[in-house]
Chains A and B, each alone.
Chain A
C-alpha cells in the first residue's frame, strides 16, 4: 500500500516561490500518475495538475500555467510542485495524491497529509 509523505508547512512573502515535496513509499513509483490539489480554507479542492513519474510529462490547470512546475526524482520516489509569484490567494493546504488507477484522468487515492502554505507579508 503506497503512502505519501509531504514536506512541512511554509510561510512565504508575496512574489516569492514555494516548492512542496511528496515522497511515495510502498509501491512502484512509476506505475501511476501523481496529482497536486489545493484547498483554500472552507472551500472545495482544486486540481492543479498531474505528472507522469515515468516520463516526467506534465499537464497543468490553465489558471496555473506559467506559475507552476511539477517535477519528479525517480531515485527517491519523490514528486515536487513549485508555485511561483505567490499572492495571498494562494494561501491553502496543498495535497499530493496518486491516481487510483493508471491514467491521467482518474480518481485520487491515496492522498498525502497536506502542506499548509501561507502567503503573507
Chain B
C-alpha cells in the first residue's frame, strides 16, 4: 500500500501570500498518477489537479501542481479568501487507492 504523508499539517498564511503544500509517497508513483483535492467544511472534496500537474476544469490558474516519483507539491501562487480550506493528495497508481491526511490552510 502506498502511504502518503502531507506536510505541514497546518499552514497559517495571509491572503495574497504563496502557499506550498507537500505530499510525499512511501514508494515511487508511476506516471505521476497523483491528484489534489480541496475540501471546505460540510462539502465533498473537489478535484483541483490530476496527473500531478494538470488542472481540472474550473481550477483557477493560481493553483499549480508539480513533482514526480515520491515528492509532489501543490502551490497556490496568491491566496484568495476562498482558498482557505483543507487539501488532500491521492495516488491512483496502485490498489488500494490512498489519500494523504491533509493540509489545512488557515487564515493568519
Contact = CB atoms under 8 A, between A and B. Distances in A.
Interface of A: 35, 43-47, 59, 61-62, 95, 97, 100, 104-114
A104 B94 CA distance: 10
Most buried by A among B44, B56, B100: B44
25 contacts: A35-B97, A44-B88, A44-B99, A45-B45, A45-B90, A47-B97, A59-B95, A62-B96, A95-B45, A97-B44, A100-B35, A100-B56, A104-B95, A105-B33, A105-B92, A105-B93, A105-B97, A107-B35, A107-B50, A107-B90, A108-B35, A108-B45, A108-B47, A109-B50, A111-B45
B73 to A, nearest CB: 17
Contacts of A106: 92
Nearest to A46: B99
B24 to A, nearest CB: 14
A44 B47 contact: no
A43 B92 CA distance: 19
Contacts, number: 54
Interface secondary structure of B, over-half rule: loop
A44 B56 contact: no
